[in-house]
Structure 1
Amino acid sequence: MKPDMGKIVEAANYIGARIGEVPKFSVILGSGLGTFAEKLKDRVEVDFSEIPHFPKSTVVGHKGRLVSGTLNDTPVLVLQGRFHYYEGYSMEQVVFPLRCLLYLKVPNLIVTNAAGSVDPDYRPGDLMLIKDHIKLHGDSPLRGANYEAFGPRFNDMSDPYTREIRDLARQCGKELDIPLKEGVYFYMTGPSYETASEIKAINILGANAVGMSTVPEVIVASHAGMKVMGLSCITNMGTGIIDQKVGHEEVIQAGAAAEESFIKVLQRIIDRWSAL
């Protein structure tokens, strides 16, 4: 069942009143990647708990707040944390913040995440530009009555991670001498990490990295016609690729270790993208 559109409007109006100018970019930050928000000037910070109808973030490494400000005079809104299906939330609750931004007419979305490698050529510390995703999980944030105000009943998914922006991002990485791999992200609902057999199967299906977020948000953004860029920070090798156990603390630490490169390339991409 879809939530009342009135809840989206109420939450969006609250956000709009707090942040003022509608940002040109929205950025959703994944586990261990939250300090990017500190680069914004003239920050306005709003805890998720203050926003009407927002769920509560329960994951370590997600600060659970919205930060608005400017990056080189470009208005940017950052979500320091997100909501996940594995937390017990419905798909509607997972994407509720994004629908509020859509109501405010934010045109561009950058999604980031911490992801595990299912490909021996992708190592911890690598940054992966997402070129496509695979979602075999049956539930969808578009299931149920369609929000006609946001997009069509049956939406195209031929270019969910906008090709033009991927081209721009690769160029930014070259300019900064920060290698950006480009690969496919596989969505798993979690919270268990994958078995060795699942990791092998995911790679055979064509993915390079796996994670527990991002795809629901991208589906909703694509439905509404947003331009989208996705960036994964590879934080660990999938089970079975190397003889090592995987834990959330290690994921957070690996994300933090890669943050300097992550922030540099993200800043450059937003600068170039804002000029388009």
Structure 2
Amino acid sequence: MPRTSGKNVLEQTPRAHGHYPIEGQRGKRVSRWPRRRENTDRCSTNLPAAKRIIVKRNSFDSLVRSEAVSEAATWIRTRWNVRPRATIILGTGLSRLAEDVRIDAAFDYSRVPHIPTVTAIGHAGRLLCGRLAGLPVLVWNGRCHLYEGWSASQAALAVCVAGALGAELLVTTSASGGLNPEYQVGDIVLIDDHINLLGRNPLIGPNDDRIGPRFLDVSRAYDPRLSRLAEQCARRRGIKLQRGVYAAMLGPTYETPAEARFLRWIGADMAGMSLVPEVLVAVHLGLRVLAFSVITNLHRPASRKSDRAKARQVRKEPTRGEDVVAAAAEAEPRLRQLVQDVLRQEAER
């Protein structure tokens, strides 16, 4: 975003959900965003060079993010002038939910200013704007991961942009390895808490108090009302829905047996490589969060050495990305029904 004169100001979206200011919306006068860095060199965008902020992997902090969010939100708004009620992030092997969206506009991530590209298997890298189950939605078909070289702030940028456009609800999905002995491959788990072992937090850096507090309470990060609603919808459909704690690992390696034992010991029910940065930013912005994970492979951590040989027999073959995608795809029809039922209930509120 170019610097403005004293008469040209950004106008802020409603504060109720902690949104970023974006151009072209009515509201009160706010101060300019902090001055951007000059030593950056990467981001795909079609904006004129004079209006471009170029950012590179792992150099993306809140000073740059604020301007990048404003530019990306303005770019989308000029092509789809609708306030989304919800934003949805589709994880590994779960992209077919996009087929249910009544699409008004669709863009590859490479076209949207500052949105990171994706390289992970099973991620389409496409933004869909439209309606799902009666709600206006932004659907991010694929996500970037920290193991691809992006920072935690960049991994959560899609949520920031959705918040700037007015979204009130985040529905996020992922694939994960099961640690809980009650889980089976193909189970859908409703996430009710997480353990952040990424070693990263997207809120590090200068805080903008207009958006959210410096020290964020995440004791209720996953909205209890939405969780109860999801369980009710699952019961009506006859869908088995587990609950559990998600452990976020940096990746890209899968967990060793010792890591699996440790994760189970500290209270994790499943382990994955994403989701947490998005959730933290969503809570900071005031969005309600509903998160699902599909169990795509199993760990059976044993507490005694005598049990470890038996535990290894659960996975006779190494975990492969292709197998993870296939297992997620098997559960996808049930997850599609569940997400749409929840959104339909929200649309009727």
Give the TM bin, normalised by the shorter chain: over 0.9
Q: Which runs of 5+ in 1 are unaligned?
A: none
Larger-gyration structure (1/2): 2
The CA distance in 2 between the partners of 1:63 and 1:203, in whole Å, is: 32
- Which residue number corresponds to residue 337 of structure 2? 264
Partner of 1:18: helix, strand, or coil? Answer: coil
Q: Is the 8 A contact 1:25 1:106 kept in 2?
A: yes
Alignment of 1:65-214 (within 5 A): 65-214=126-275
* Alignment counterpart, residue 243 of structure 1, candidates 315, 330, 339: 315
CA 1:272–1:118: 2 relative to 1, 3 Å: same
Amino acid paired to 2:62: K
Q: Is the 8 A contact 1:110 1:230 kept in 2?
A: yes
2-11 vs 159-168, which moves further = 2-11
* Alignment counterpart, residue 92 of structure 2, candidates 31, 34, 47: 31
Q: Is the 8 A contact 1:239 1:246 kept in 2?
A: no
Partner of 2:325: helix, strand, or coil? Answer: helix
TM-score normalised to structure 2 length: 0.77
Q: Is the 8 A contact 1:218 1:228 kept in 2?
A: yes
Bigger relative contact order, structure 1 or 2 (CA pairs below 8 A, ≥6 apart): 1
- Which residue number corresponds to residue 21 of structure 1? 82
Q: Is the 8 A contact 1:170 1:180 kept in 2?
A: yes
Partner of 2:171: helix, strand, or coil? Answer: strand
The CA distance in 2 between the partners of 1:243 and 1:221, in whole Å, is: 35
The CA distance in 1 between the partners of 2:76 and 2:69, in whole Å, is: 11
- 1:189 deviates by 0.8
- 1:148 deviates by 2.4
**Richer in strand (by share):** 1
Partner of 2:79: helix, strand, or coil? Answer: helix
Q: Is the 8 A contact 2:299 2:315 kept in 1?
A: no
Instruction: Quote the RMSD (CA, aligned, Å).
Output: 1.3
Q: Is the 8 A contact 1:125 1:233 kept in 2?
A: yes
Partner of 1:46: helix, strand, or coil? Answer: strand
- 1:239 deviates by 7.0
- How many residue pairs get aligned? The number is 276
The CA distance in 1 between the partners of 2:138 and 2:165, in whole Å, is: 12
CA 1:59–1:136: 2 relative to 1, 3 Å: closer
- 1:56 deviates by 1.1
- Which residue number corresponds to residue 327 of structure 2? 254
**Matched residues, percent identical?**
38
The CA distance in 2 between the partners of 1:107 and 1:233, in whole Å, is: 24
Q: Is the 8 A contact 1:102 1:150 kept in 2?
A: no
Amino acid paired to 1:229: L
The CA distance in 2 between the partners of 1:109 and 1:258, in whole Å, is: 20
- 1:43 deviates by 3.8
16-25 vs 84-93, which moves further = 16-25
Q: Is the 8 A contact 2:134 2:347 kept in 1?
A: no
TM-score normalised to structure 1 length: 0.96
The CA distance in 2 between the partners of 1:53 and 1:239, in whole Å, is: 40
CA 1:93–1:3: 2 relative to 1, 3 Å: farther
Amino acid paired to 1:266: V
CA 1:247–1:205: 2 relative to 1, 3 Å: same
Partner of 2:143: helix, strand, or coil? Answer: coil
CA 1:18–1:90: 2 relative to 1, 3 Å: same
